[in-house]
């Protein structure tokens, strides 16, 4: 499938920004001269939605002009007269798609979010048209690249393969239908995601129900009319599930959280499954899972199912032991308990860790303020990748006052720019992700990316905004994606720049970078409490031991999600019942019973973003654990190893198959051995 077409059909890529970026002088510009009486009044400021519409229009117009220029080439087609134009077509098209895909998730203005959805739809329509355009296919196909460099040869090979997977060899009627399906898939997927983002639920509860929650969290939730408002956003949901003594409160919030989107997303899910199934069958594939994974490291639904089964076999017994330990813990406060409910898991787990491993998650939390953690993350990546961050002010692209902006530089060379949108707000994307804003194209534009998270906000906290360690891991994970995008952004061809690796490899660098959030070697650089005391080494050691508890139950839970995303896309969409399938697979894979009143799949945004390929997270973890093996002796800050990793895994972008990138770094093919050792710890 064409990479950009894949991006718009399953939202695998997102985000976009201006081609030129400037930083305001630190001293500020002098005031403009007063207008003379005869001067016309200045034009009114354009609204954010108008600015976005103009940008999108300009980029799509430029893409269309590049396509027309390809049509107009006379004589023999060459890299210079055709492939360069094709690259411009791809670049401008990606710029528009990226802008729409990010702004629809983050803009605080409803009109701008609506305009962004239209932008993304128009980009998707043009991407689909391009992917099914026989004149373009033939133009690229006849170019002689026998004397070209390796990256050009790979770009052409991937592009021709993308065309075939998009359906270029279908007859005219079927290609027309394929284009119609592409357009509908994008629109339905956008609506599904919109319903999740805009469905923030609230509970107003009496203050006495907050017993057990951290003092800083309680201080940040003032009483109004005798009640405290709790939302389903992560900075509320996670602490309540982890610490609240009130079992009923945890259950209420759990059901609300697991029901987001349930008003309309049942019907939308069935619709997108139907559209995807038809799209796959047009190409001769049995189902969408086989189609969408045809160009991945694990190719085909059967290979995915075999992988899920393999990991389940490795973790099932351990998952059962974890569950039994949780039940034993629960019985200490409720002797009549016969099972552990899903809303009881997080609290029971932290209690086991506290008693068995002497890890008090509230104590751990005290060492991780948001501000210090971010500064530590920037310092660590600066060191291991030989880069520096320069704060930017006055950036006109910023969509919300909370967004921080940094230039990424090495020596005197600017490598790219990053935007950090890290705290929750109304109608914003509810999960955590890295979005591309601009893909790096050498000589045309630098890579620009954004982190979009929902972490505790220093502005609303009473004192430092403290994070649970899981939040820290999330921050490091997403920053791993951002580094991949920026450091992999020095390529000429749009098709192979940045994170344009196989989609089931794209999580490996971010999964790997989580390890930097678990090592005392790195944590001691920034983790300190309000008194300035650095996190003790022995506490980190206990945290690492406690980390092994719950690994089995967490792994089978991930396999449940992977199986659900896969089987929804292998089943007949006319017959599949998502609720019944969810209940069946949860029973099959996990020891935790389905909770009545929930429809987690309606809020499972990955069904749009990853479609049938949620297995990607665990597959990437297999690779990530192998990538960590060279650090076992040297430590995580050994620059010879980090530089080699940067240069062989991140910097190449998609210039080589992922398996070859891993081999270049490790000196051997990837192996399951490190992952199996990890599961056995």
Last residue of a domain, one of 588, 614, 640: 614
Sign of CA dihedral 617, 622, 623, 627: positive
Residue 300: the pLDDT is: 94
Q: Is residue 268 part of a domain?
A: no
Q: What 8-state DSSP symbol labels residue 503?
A: T
Q: What 8-state DSSP symbol labels residue 415?
A: E
Residue 192: the pLDDT is: 96
Same domain assignment for residues 474 and 595: no
- Domain span including residue 629: 370-534+617-680
614 neighbors 450 (Cβ within 8 angstroms):
no
Length of the chain, in residues? 681
**CATH (domain of 581):** 1.10.1370.10
Helix axes 84-106, 48-72, angle to 10 degrees: 160
Q: b/e for 174-190, b at 16 or more Cβ within 10 A? A: ebebbbebbbbbbbbbb
Same domain assignment for residues 414 and 484: yes
Asked if the model's pLDDT at residue 27 lies above 70, the reply is no
pLDDT digits (tens, 9 = 90+) for 81-137: 999 999 999 999 999 999 999 999 999 999 999 999 999 999 999 999 999 999 999
Residue 530: the pLDDT is: 94
Same domain assignment for residues 413 and 561: no
**By mean pLDDT, which of 7-21, 42-56, 325-339 is the weakest?**
7-21
Q: Is residue 544 part of a domain?
A: no
CA angle 388, 391, 396 (to 5 degrees): 130
Mean pLDDT calculated for residue range 514-534 = 97
pLDDT digits (tens, 9 = 90+) for 560-606: 999 999 999 999 999 999 999 999 999 999 999 999 999 999 999 99
Q: Is residue 596 part of a domain?
A: yes
pLDDT bracket for residue 8 (50, 70, 90): low
Mean pLDDT calculated for residue range 612-623 = 95
Tokens standing for residue 654:
């998609």
Which of these, 364, 347, 144, 129, lies nearest to 247 by C-alpha position?
Answer: 347
pLDDT digits (tens, 9 = 90+) for 360-370: 999 999 999 99
Q: What 8-state DSSP symbol labels residue 82?
A: I
Asked if the model's pLDDT at residue 9 lies above 70, the reply is no
pLDDT bracket for residue 7 (50, 70, 90): low
Residue 3: the pLDDT is: 61
Q: What 8-state DSSP symbol labels residue 232?
A: S
Give Cβ neighbours of residue 569 (< 8 Å, ≥ 6 apart). Answer: 273, 276, 277, 287, 288, 289, 292, 301, 611, 612
Asked if the model's pLDDT at residue 557 lies above 80, the reply is yes
Same domain assignment for residues 635 and 605: no
**CATH (domain of 14):** 1.20.1050.40
Q: Count up the domains in the chain and report the number.
A: 4
Rounded CA-CA distance 595/587 in Å is 11
Same domain assignment for residues 294 and 236: no
pLDDT bracket for residue 35 (50, 70, 90): very low
Asked if the model's pLDDT at residue 20 lies above 90, the reply is no
Q: Is residue 39 part of a domain?
A: no
491 neighbors 497 (Cβ within 8 angstroms):
yes
448 neighbors 438 (Cβ within 8 angstroms):
yes
Mean pLDDT calculated for residue range 625-644 = 97
pLDDT bracket for residue 40 (50, 70, 90): low
Residue 11: the pLDDT is: 53
Last residue of a domain, one of 598, 614, 630: 614
Which of these, 650, 98, 106, 14, lies nearest to 420 by C-alpha position?
Answer: 106
Count Cβ atoms within 10 A of the Cβ of residue 553 and give its class: 0-12 exposed, 13-18 middle, 19 or more buried. Answer: buried
The count of other CB atoms within 10 Å of the CB of residue 38 is 5
Percent of the chain surpassing pLDDT 70: 94
The count of other CB atoms within 10 Å of the CB of residue 335 is 7
Asked if the model's pLDDT at residue 556 lies above 80, the reply is yes
The alpha carbon of 81 is separated from its chain's Cα centroid by a whole number of angstroms, namely: 36
**Beta strands per DSSP E along 137-258:** 202-205, 228-231
Per DSSP, the residues of 385-404 read HT-EEEE--S-TT--STT-E
Q: Is residue 330 part of a domain?
A: yes
Residue 32: the pLDDT is: 43
91 neighbors 439 (Cβ within 8 angstroms):
yes
Same domain assignment for residues 298 and 322: yes
More confident residue, 429 or 34: 429
Asked if the model's pLDDT at residue 256 lies above 90, the reply is yes
Report CA-CA distances (Å) from 324 to 250, 320, 352: 21, 6, 11
Residue 45: the pLDDT is: 73
Residue 460: the pLDDT is: 85
Rounded CA-CA distance 80/657 in Å is 25
Rounded CA-CA distance 186/370 in Å is 35
630 neighbors 641 (Cβ within 8 angstroms):
yes
Same domain assignment for residues 608 and 621: no
Rounded CA-CA distance 149/529 in Å is 53
Phi, psi at 53, each rounded to 5°: -60, -40
Rounded CA-CA distance 65/52 in Å is 20
315 neighbors 326 (Cβ within 8 angstroms):
no
Rounded CA-CA distance 447/441 in Å is 7
Q: Is residue 31 part of a domain?
A: no
Same domain assignment for residues 606 and 625: no
Residue 17: the pLDDT is: 30
Residue 221: the pLDDT is: 94
Last residue of a domain, one of 192, 216, 239: 192
Percent of the chain surpassing pLDDT 90: 91
More confident residue, 261 or 44: 261
3-class secondary structure, 205 = strand
Mean pLDDT calculated for residue range 403-432 = 96
Same domain assignment for residues 210 and 232: yes
Same domain assignment for residues 379 and 476: yes
Q: Is residue 157 part of a domain?
A: yes
Residue 22: the pLDDT is: 30
The count of other CB atoms within 10 Å of the CB of residue 369 is 24
Which of these, 96, 87, 15, lies nearest to 61 by C-alpha position?
Answer: 96
Q: Is residue 602 part of a domain?
A: yes
**How much is the mean pLDDT over the chain?**
93
Tokens standing for residue 116:
């962004």
Same domain assignment for residues 206 and 154: no
* Strand-strand pairing, 448-452 and 413-421: parallel
pLDDT digits (tens, 9 = 90+) for 263-319: 999 999 999 999 999 999 999 999 999 999 999 999 999 999 999 999 999 999 999
pLDDT digits (tens, 9 = 90+) for 210-247: 999 999 999 999 999 999 999 999 999 999 999 999 99
Same domain assignment for residues 316 and 439: no
Asked if the model's pLDDT at residue 651 lies above 80, the reply is yes
Residue 2: the pLDDT is: 56
Half-sphere exposure of 44 (CA within 13 A, CB side): 4
Phi, psi at 414, each rounded to 5°: -80, 125
């Amino acid at each position: 499938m064409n990479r950009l077409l894949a991006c718009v059909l399953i939202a695998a890529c997102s985000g976009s920004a201006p081609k030129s970026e400037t930083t305001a002088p630190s001293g500020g510009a002098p005031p403009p001269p007063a207008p003379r009486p005869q001067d016309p009044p200045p034009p009114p400021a354009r609204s954010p939605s108008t600015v976005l519409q103009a940008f999108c229009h300009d980029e799509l117009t430029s893409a269309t002009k590049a396509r027309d220029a390809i049509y107009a080439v006379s004589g023999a087609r060459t890299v210079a007269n055709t492939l360069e134009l094709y690259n411009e077509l791809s670049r401008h098209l990606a710029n528009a798609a990226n802008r729409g895909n990010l702004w629809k998730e983050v803009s605080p203005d409803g009109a701008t979010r609506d305009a962004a959805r239209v932008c993304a739809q128009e980009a998707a329509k043009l991407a689909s048209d391009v992917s099914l355009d026989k004149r373009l296919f033939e133009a690229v196909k006849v170019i002689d690249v026998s004397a070209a460099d390796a990256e050009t040869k790979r770009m052409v090979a991937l592009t021709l393969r993308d065309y075939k997977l998009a359906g270029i060899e279908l007859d005219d009627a079927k290609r027309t239908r394929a284009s119609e399906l592409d357009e509908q898939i994008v629109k339905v997927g956008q609506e599904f995601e919109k319903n999740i983002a805009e469905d923030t639920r609230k509970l107003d509860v009496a203050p006495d129900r907050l017993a057990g929650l951290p003092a800083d969290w309680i201080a940040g939730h003032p009483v109004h009319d005798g009640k405290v408002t709790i939302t389903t956003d992560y900075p509320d949901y996670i602490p309540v599930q982890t610490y609240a003594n009130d079992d009923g409160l945890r259950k209420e919030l759990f059901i609300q959280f697991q029901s987001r989107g349930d008003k309309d997303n049942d019907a939308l899910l069935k619709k997108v499954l139907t559209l995807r199934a038809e799209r796959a069958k047009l190409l001769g594939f049995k189902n969408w899972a086989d189609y969408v994974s045809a160009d991945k490291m694990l190719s085909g639904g059967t290979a995915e199912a075999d992988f899920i089964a393999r990991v389940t076999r490795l973790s099932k017994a351990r998952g059962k032991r974890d569950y039994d330990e949780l039940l034993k813990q629960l019985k200490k406060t409720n002797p009549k308990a016969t099972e552990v409910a899903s809303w009881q898991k997080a609290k029971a787990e932290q209690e086991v860790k506290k008693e068995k491993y002497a890890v008090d998650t509230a104590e751990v939390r005290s060492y991780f303020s948001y501000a210090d953690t971010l500064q530590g993350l920037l310092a660590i990546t600066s060191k291991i990748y030989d880069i520096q961050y320069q704060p930017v002010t006055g950036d006109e692209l910023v969509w919300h006052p909370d967004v921080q902006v940094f230039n990424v530089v090495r020596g005197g060379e600017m490598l790219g720019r990053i935007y950090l949108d890290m705290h929750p707000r109304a109608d914003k994307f509810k999960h955590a992700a890295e979005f591309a804003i601009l893909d790096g194209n050498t000589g045309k534009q630098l890579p620009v990316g954004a982190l979009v998270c929902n972490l505790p906000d220093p502005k609303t906290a009473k004192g430092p905004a403290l994070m649970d360690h899981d939040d820290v891991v999330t921050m490091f994970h997403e920053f791993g994606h951002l580094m991949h995008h920026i450091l992999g952004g020095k390529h000429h061809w749009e098709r192979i720049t940045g994170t344009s690796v196989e989609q089931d490899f794209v999580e490996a660098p971010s999964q790997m970078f989580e390890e930097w959030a678990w090592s005392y070697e790195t944590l001691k650089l920034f983790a300190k409490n309000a008194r300035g005391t650095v996190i003790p080494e022995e506490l980190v050691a206990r945290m690492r031991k406690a980390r092994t508890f719950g690994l089995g139950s967490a792994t089978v839970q991930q396999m449940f999600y992977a199986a659900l995303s896969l089987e929804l896309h292998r089943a007949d969409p006319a017959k599949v019942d998502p609720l019944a399938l969810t209940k069946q697979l949860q029973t099959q894979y996990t020891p935790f019973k389905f909770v009545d009143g929930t429809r987690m799949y309606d809020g499972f945004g990955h069904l749009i973003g990853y479609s049938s390929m949620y297995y990607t997270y665990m597959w990437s973890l297999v690779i990530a654990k192998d990538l960590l093996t060279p650090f076992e002796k040297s430590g995580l800050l050994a620059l010879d190893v980090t530089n080699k990793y940067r240069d062989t895994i991140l910097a190449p972008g998609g210039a080589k198959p992922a398996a070859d990138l891993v081999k270049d770094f490790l000196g051997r093919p990837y192996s399951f051995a490190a992952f199996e050792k990890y599961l056995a710890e």
